[in-house]
Amino acid sequence: MSNRLHIGTRKGLFELARSNGVWEIVDVSFLGDPVSAVLADAGGSVWAALDLGHFGAKLWRRDGAGDWREMAVPVFPPKPDDASEDPHPWSLGKIWVIEPGGVPGRLWAGTMPGGFFRSDDRGESWSLNEALWHMPERRQWFGVAGGEQPGINSVLIDPRSPSDIRVGVSCAGLWASTDAGASWKIINQGMYNEYMPPERREDPIVQDIHLLSRCAAHPEIVWCQHHNGVFRSENAGANWYELAAIRPSKFGFAVAAHPSDPDTAWFVPAIKDERRIPVDGEVVVARTRDAGRSFEVLRQGLPHRHAYDLVYRHALAVDETGERLAFGSTTGGLWISEDGGDSWTMPEARLPPIAVVRFAPV
Amino acid sequence: MTTVLFTSALQRFLPAPSTQVEGETVGAALAVVFATRPALRGYVLDDQGALRRHVAVYVNGQPVNDRVWLTDPVGPHDEIYVFQALSGG
């Protein structure tokens, strides 16, 4: 089990460690600065992406007990004259997700305004995936709530083949490459987006994917928290069916797939979509253990009343055992479970608004 | 020589000392600074070389007109001041 958690917040990066059964903050970095993405590896390295309001997106890495060191950030190429019709800026907005690439040294970064970047030197340098960026369809991507730009929020690397990549985009569906990013196609069928005009609701490219999460041991199983529902795919994201049994509501941002059980996943539902608060002011986690046919509403240890915590898409995490989970909220709530979500405890901390929660792999 | 001064808010992240440079425009003067301090560039300019949206540049106490191409002229006795528009909570 992982004994280490990294919490990226609006006011810094907090590291928690478990000792004698108690989770405590053991380190604070970048205090006062917004953290937009975090990645930790089994070798003890941590990457932290900052979203500085004035000075742009930044990326730092710390190796083991060493000092933080600033990395290069992904940079877009000069915008050519014939791209004047492109509705999106050719400039890094923020780094939204960083994932290991399945090859030593390789990382992938999903960004706003929709650029997908690769590093082969552990984040020291980055190159834009030109194939995806130059697809004409990319100009149809549109911005998401809380940001004016489209963003790549999910990066799924097939553990059996690092050349097989799927990215989830808000708002632009699910794009797949089987040749390490040399070519791409949109693949998601079966989703619907009910805020779109009727004739476009089932169009794959307008699907508002909040987050994708894949079962590591069964990579063909992918779960999606979509803007207007939760969906499951049994063929690696090509075909989807809605899980209408989700309770207490179908809106939300976060989803976590069990790492080995293909039938188990967790969600943190909220009232959609203009209000974005928990149903009845009660923070709950929804868990399915039967592939979405039914859901349990887990509430032991979570606030039962007058709680207005929203959980963002990268703020729910599960460790490699599937027993230990953690999630954080927009009001700084942080809850940890040691029993697959049956019960939750809150570390002694009042944190800033939380954007991202990640376990360090063992 | 034109003087380039950076807000102390940048010092939290990286060294940004005041510098005397040669340059006939704001862009040319800043380019000289960034040539010796490349990490500073991304804090001030976006990927296309324009001023970041929440970064301000004044010359002798007046905001520059051209935030995209940085063509405002500067002379040897001018002072370029790079700072941030504070906002948020």
Residue B79 placed within a domain: yes
Residues of B in contact with A55 (CB under 8 A): 10, 13, 42-44, 52, 55, 84
A26-81 residue pLDDT tens:
999 999 999 999 999 999 999 999 999 899 999 999 999 999 999 999 999 999 98
The total of structural domains in chain B comes to 1
Q: Tell me whether A54 touches chain B (CB under 8 Å).
A: yes
- Contact between B44 and A55 using a beta-carbon 8 Å cutoff: yes
> Does residue B45 sit within a domain?
yes
Interface of A with B in 64-83 (CB under 8 A): 70, 73, 75-76, 78-79
Q: At B8, phi and psi to the nearest 5? A: -65, -20
pLDDT band (50, 70, 90) for residue A279:
confident
Question: What is this structure's pTM?
Answer: 0.94
Count of residues for chain B? Answer: 89
- Residue B67 maps to which CATH number? 3.10.20.30
Would B6 be classed as within a structural domain?
A: yes
Find all residues with CB under 8 Å of A162, minimum gap 6, and list them: A101, A102, A103, A106, A180
Residue in B47, B48, B54, B67 to test binding to A, most A beta-carbons within 10 Å: B47
What's A62's domain CATH number?
2.130.10.10
Tokens 């939290």 sit on residue: B12
Report if residue B57 sits inside a domain: yes
Residues 275-304 (A) with a CB less than 8 A from some CB of B: none
Q: Are B4 and B19 in contact (CB under 8 A)?
A: yes
Evaluated on CA atoms A234, A237, A240, A246, the torsion sign reads: positive
Per-residue buried b or exposed e for A102-126, using 16+ beta carbons within 10 Å of the residue's own CB: beeebbbbbbbbbbbbbbeebbeeb
Q: Which of A54, A70, A91 sits opposite B39 (nearest CB)?
A: A70
CA separation for the pair A122, A111 (Å, rounded): 17
Judge whether B24 lies within some domain. Answer: yes
Q: Which residue do the tokens 């059996």 mark?
A: A160
- Within a domain: residue B14? yes
Please indicate, yes or no, if residue B89 is contained in any of the structural domains. Answer: no
What are the backbone angles phi and psi of residue A155, rounded to the nearest 5°?
-130, 115
Residue B71 placed within a domain? yes
Residue entry with tokens 């340059």:
B23
Tell how strand B79-84 and strand B55-59 pair up.
antiparallel
Measure A252 CA to nearest chain B CA, in Å.
25
Q: Which domain holds residue B41?
A: 2-84
Report H helices in chain B: 26-36, 38-44
Distance from CA of A227 to the nearest CA of B (A): 27
Question: Percent of chain A, pLDDT > 70?
Answer: 98
Domain count, chain A: 1
Tens digits of per-residue pLDDT, A133-175?
A: 999 999 999 886 556 799 999 999 999 999 999 999 998 999 9
The pLDDT-based confidence of A245 (bands split at 50, 70, 90) is very high
B47: nearest CA in chain A? Answer: A91
Q: What is the pLDDT along chain B (89 residues), one digit of tens a residue?
A: 999 999 998 988 999 999 999 999 999 999 999 999 999 999 999 999 999 999 999 999 999 999 999 999 999 999 999 998 765 55
